[in-house]
């Protein structure tokens, strides 16, 4: 897989992508990261990437031209745009989910567009991006944090990125549920005991307990997930 990231802050990604699973996946040849500096696609001496919004109002809006030219630079010769999803991380986008991470992990290439300032010119969302995604109902300083989260969620699903697939298959959201609680040594800590069933050695009962706990937590904390068709 090739992951392209168009951003004003390439250095934001170098540290996290050089650690843990994203780094191991790259070292194993499962993924390459291509960080694209948006300012390299400006044409004035100030490398201007934003301007005042038409119609007035507070804040600055990122210009469409640098995004368009940056993405076009990633296309193979004779093609207008690179293959694969082109994703604008945006607070007005649909919420990113585990299903999106699975879908992205099957692509040979994906391109993330990171906005900043007040907004990105809507022609980028409408004409360049193939989809617009958000992490949730809150605002962060730019698209870098959401893009990094989406990259990590995607890369860890690549075959071989995690040595123990069973570990991933018991994560929250893998099967539409939150995961059951986890415990490790010591068996008693500050008066709090590990549930006895986990010490029983009875794997069938442990599996049933974990399923019961996963369902309980999902019902209590994420009724929206529990009410999804696969659980009704």
Q: Is 115 annotated as a binding residue?
A: yes
Please, are residues 1 and 30 in contact by the beta-carbon 8 Å criterion? Answer: yes
Is 135 labelled as part of a ligand binding site? yes
Residue 164: count of CB within 10 angstroms of its CB: 8
CA distance 144 to 165: 28
Q: Does the annotation list 61 as a binding residue?
A: no
13 belongs to an annotated ligand binding site:
no
Size of the chain in residues: 232
Query: Is the bond into 192 cis (omega within 30 degrees of 0)?
Result: no
Collapsing DSSP states into helix, strand and coil, what is residue 167?
A: helix
Supply the angle between the helices 144-155 and 98-105 in degrees, to the nearest 10.
Answer: 70
- How many Å apart are CA 54 and CA 128, to the nearest integer? 20
Between the alpha carbon of residue 169 and those of residues 24, 162, 179, 197, the distances in Å are: 19, 11, 10, 21
User: Which residues are CB-neighbours of 46 under 8 A, at least 6 positions away?
Assistant: none
145 is in an annotated binding site: no
The candidate with the shortest Cα–Cα distance to 71, out of 29, 43, 95, 36, is 36
Q: Is 12 annotated as a binding residue?
A: no
Annotated binding residue 49 = no
Residues annotated within the binding site are: 115, 135-140
Binding-site residue ranges for S-adenosyl-L-methionine: 115, 135-140
């Amino acid at each position: 897989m090739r992951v392209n990231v168009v951003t004003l802050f390439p250095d934001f990604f170098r540290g996290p992508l050089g650690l843990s699973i994203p780094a191991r996946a790259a070292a194993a040849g499962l993924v390459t990261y291509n960080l694209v500096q948006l300012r390299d696609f400006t044409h004035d001496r100030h490398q201007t990437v934003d301007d005042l919004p038409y119609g007035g109002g507070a804040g600055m809006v990122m210009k469409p031209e640098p995004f368009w030219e940056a993405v076009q630079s990633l296309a193979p010769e004779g093609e207008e745009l690179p293959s694969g999803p082109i994703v604008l991380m945006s607070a007005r986008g649909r919420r990113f989910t585990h299903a999106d991470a699975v879908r992205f992990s099957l692509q040979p290439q994906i391109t993330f567009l990171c906005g900043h300032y007040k907004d990105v010119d809507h022609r980028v969302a409408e004409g360049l991006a193939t989809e617009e995604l958000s992490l949730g109902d809150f605002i962060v300083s730019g698209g870098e944090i959401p893009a990094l989260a989406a990259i990590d969620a995607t890369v860890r699903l690549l075959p071989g990125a995690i040595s123990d697939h069973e570990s991933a298959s018991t994560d929250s959201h893998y099967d539409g549920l939150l995961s059951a609680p986890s415990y490790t040594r010591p068996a008693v800590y500050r008066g709090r005991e590990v549930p006895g069933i986990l010490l029983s050695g009875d794997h069938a009962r442990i599996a049933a307990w974990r399923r019961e706990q996963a369902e309980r937590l999902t019902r209590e904390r994420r009724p929206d997930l529990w009410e999804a068709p696969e659980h009704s």
